Amino acid sequence: MKFNELNLPEVVLKGIEETGFTDCTPIQEKALPLALSGKDVAGQAQTGTGKTATFLISIFTRLLNQQKTGAEHHPRALILAPTRELVVQIEKDAQTLGKHTGFNIQAIYGGVDYMKQRDALKAGADIVIGTPGRLIDYLKQKVYSLKDVEALVIDEADRMFDMGFIADLRFILRRLPSYDKRQNLLFSATLNTRVMELAYEFMNMPEKVSVTPEQMTAERVEQVLYHVSRKEKFPLLLGLLRKMGMDRTMIFVNTKREAEYLQDRLNANEFPCRVISGDVEQRKRMKILSDFKAGLLPIMIATDVASRGIHIEGVSHVVNYDLPQDCEDYVHRIGRTARAGAEGMAISLADEDGAFFIEAIQEFIKQKIPTEWAEDDMFVHDYKRTARPPRRTDDKPGGRGGKPGERGGKPGRGESRGRSRSGSEKEKPEQKVAKPAAEEKAPSVDAAATGDAAAKKKRRRRKPKAKTAEQQPEQP
């Protein structure tokens, strides 16, 4: 099906043509007719198959065909995404596809331009794209209202559960018009039972659309798995980089500490790279992504913050330096390559810890990952070595990040307080030593002071506290 066969407004078709799109992808061919007819849709398709364009075209068409009835400055459509990078990507696509629609599109996410985003939202926006956290922040300040929203989109819905957004989602949904007075669209590469429960809870009899669910990964991704010890992972990675000449490569790790260590070693061995993770300042993250997209940075190391929804053309290789603990993350990671019909290669290095995740991943993607054994000449041993950074509290033994409340994971509720108490207990001996030193600064008495002198000192301290007539006779 071609886009011009659909009943789309002329300004929307013009934006589609300028992006170079002519034919619909399978998910667009199935979901667009339903969405354009006004039905709620829950769509599942492989990453990189055009889900973003599907809901953007639907929203533009709906808003153009309906006259605005609410307040002038209230948003008419709301798009929710789990990560800042995905919000930026959606906004960029929206500005391109909706260039001729005249809609005011505003991205709302944390880390940058708090007052600028606040003022823009207060001035009025037709389409708001954002992460739940900052959207709720502005809602509580009454900067804007959601009572006139005509269309709602939740992108990467499965990730919303994994990242703990369910409470924030319910907070926002309660402030929207009734589910039967708005159109609801939900898209993700994986639609599990939890996501569908949410769909039926806040959507109006949604139509579920699935494209090739029996094959979770993209068709043009060549997958390969190497079994290697933890000490041999880096020598093998260097050998692969030198042998294959990976021009634009994304390397995924599970923790920030491992990412920083890998960055230091690669840079020391003349492979320029940068790290993008949740702890990196937002402006730096956007600069790294921009340089990587422009080809100025050949290698980008990332945690799973960059595994969802980010579209970067020309990524030739994806390397799972650490195999993900979540099966769905494997699908999204390798989906950063072979996008929009291109070809790519996904290389996974399974060490002593990662080997435990292989079976679950293969069961989830419903296929066996081809295994190859690295020859001796593929390892590089004459590389420059760097010191490993100190272990962080959010790193689990073995280099894997733990869940909140687990050993080595981020502290759960009360854990940080417990640690502070234990820390203060260790400092008690020092406090006992410091106390006499503090007393020495007070006015001193004669060196041969007796117990009576000390008693007088105590009485002098209590004397100002005695204010009533009953207490004064008791003073000596």
Residue finishing a domain among 183, 210, 237: 210
Do 267 and 173 belong to one domain?
no
In terms of residue numbers, what domain contains 260? 221-378
| DSSP category for residue 272 | -
Please give the chain's pLDDT, 476 residues, in tens.
888 889 899 999 999 999 888 888 888 999 999 999 999 999 887 766 788 999 999 999 999 999 888 788 899 999 999 888 889 989 999 999 999 999 999 999 988 889 999 999 999 999 999 999 999 999 999 999 999 999 999 998 877 776 678 889 889 999 999 988 999 999 877 777 878 887 888 888 889 998 865 555 666 789 999 999 999 999 999 999 998 888 889 999 998 889 999 999 999 999 999 998 877 887 888 889 889 988 899 999 998 876 665 677 788 899 999 999 888 788 888 888 876 667 889 999 999 999 999 999 999 888 899 999 888 889 998 899 888 877 655 554 333 344 333 333 443 333 333 333 333 333 334 444 444 444 444 444 444 444 454 444 445 555 455 444 444 444 44
The two tokens of residue 86 are 């995905």
Q: Is residue 450 assigned to a domain?
A: no
Is residue 250 a contact partner of residue 302, using CB atoms and an 8 Å limit? Answer: yes
Same domain, residue pair 205 and 302: no
Q: Sheet with 344-350: list strands edge to edge.
A: 273-276, 299-302, 249-252, 317-320, 344-350, 221-227, 371-372
The predicted pLDDT at position 175 comes to 93
Domain endpoint, select from 170, 189, 210 = 210
Strands 344-350, 207-210: pairing kind: unpaired
What sign does the dihedral 227-231-232-235 (CA atoms) show?
positive
Q: Rounded CA gap, 237 and 250, in Å?
A: 12
Q: What pairs with residue 128 in β-bridges?
A: 78, 106
Q: Count structural domains, the chain.
A: 2
Q: Rounded to an integer, what distance in angstroms lies between the CA atom of residue 204 and that of residue 181?
A: 9
Distance from C-alpha of 107 to C-alpha of 92, rounded to nearest angstrom: 9
- Quick one: tokens of 352? 């002593």
Q: Is 469 exposed, middle or buried (0-12, 13-18, 19+ CB in 10 A)?
A: exposed
How far is residue 335's CA from residue 327's CA, in Å, rounded to a whole number? Answer: 13
- Do 202 and 234 lie in one domain? The reply is no
Residues 5 and 197: their CA atoms lie apart, in Å, by 34
- CA–CA separation, 406 and 395 (whole Å): 11
> In a 3-state reduction of DSSP, which class is residue 209?
strand
- Residue 428 lies inside a defined structural domain of this protein: no
Strand partners, 299: 249, 273
Cα 466 to Cα 463: distance, rounded to the nearest angstrom: 6
Q: Pairing state of beta strands 249-252 and 183-188?
A: unpaired
Q: Same structural domain for residues 174 and 242?
A: no
**What's the CA gap between 324 and 346, in Å, rounded?**
13
Distance, in Å, from the CA atom of 288 to the CA atom of 246, rounded to the nearest integer, reads 18
Question: Domain check: are 15 and 157 in the same one?
Answer: yes
Q: What is the pLDDT of residues 172-192, one digit of tens each?
A: 999 999 988 999 999 877 777
Sequence-separated (6 or more) residues with CB below 8 Å from residue 317 = 244, 246, 248, 249, 250, 337, 344, 345, 346, 347
Per the document, the length of the chain is 476
Whether 20 is in a domain gets the answer: yes
Question: Which of 329, 357, 378 delimits the end of a domain?
Answer: 378
Could you count the other beta carbons within 10 Å of the beta carbon of residue 292? 24
Burial of 231 (0-12, 13-18, 19+ CB in 10 A): exposed
CB 158 within 8 A of CB 199: no
What is the arrangement of strands in the sheet containing 127-130, beginning at the earlier edge strand? 105-108, 127-130, 77-80, 151-155, 183-188, 41-44, 207-210
* Host H or E run for residue 154: strand 151-155
> Is residue 326 domain-shared with residue 374, that is, in the same domain?
yes
Instruction: Return the bridge partners of 400, or none.
Output: 396
Q: Give a yes or no: residue 357 inside a domain.
A: yes
For residue 351, is it within any domain? yes
231 and 98 in a common domain: no
pTM, two decimal places: 0.66
CATH number of the domain within which 74 lies:
3.40.50.300
Q: List Cβ neighbours of 234 (8 Å cut-off, separation of 6 or more).
A: 262, 265, 383
| Distance, CA of 176 to CA of 145 (rounded, Å) | 9
Let me know if 473 is exposed, middle or buried by CB neighbors in 10 A (0-12, 13-18, 19+): exposed
Is the Cα torsion angle 93, 99, 105, 107 positive or negative in sign?
positive
CB 305 within 8 A of CB 254: no
Do 140 and 259 reside in the same domain of the chain? no
Please, are residues 129 and 94 in contact by the beta-carbon 8 Å criterion?
A: yes
Whole-number Å distance between alpha carbons of 412 and 425: 21
317 falls within a domain: yes
Provide the H-helix boundaries in 141-192. 157-162, 166-173
d(CA 390, CA 56): 45
Whether residue 464 is contained in a domain is answered as: no
In a domain, 468, yes or no: no
Residues 353 and 239 in one domain: yes
HSE-CB for 404 with a 13 A CA cutoff: 9
Q: Are residues 122 and 246 in the same domain?
A: no
Same domain for 249 and 362, yes or no, is: yes
Considering the domain architecture, whether residues 193 and 280 belong to the same structural domain is answered as no
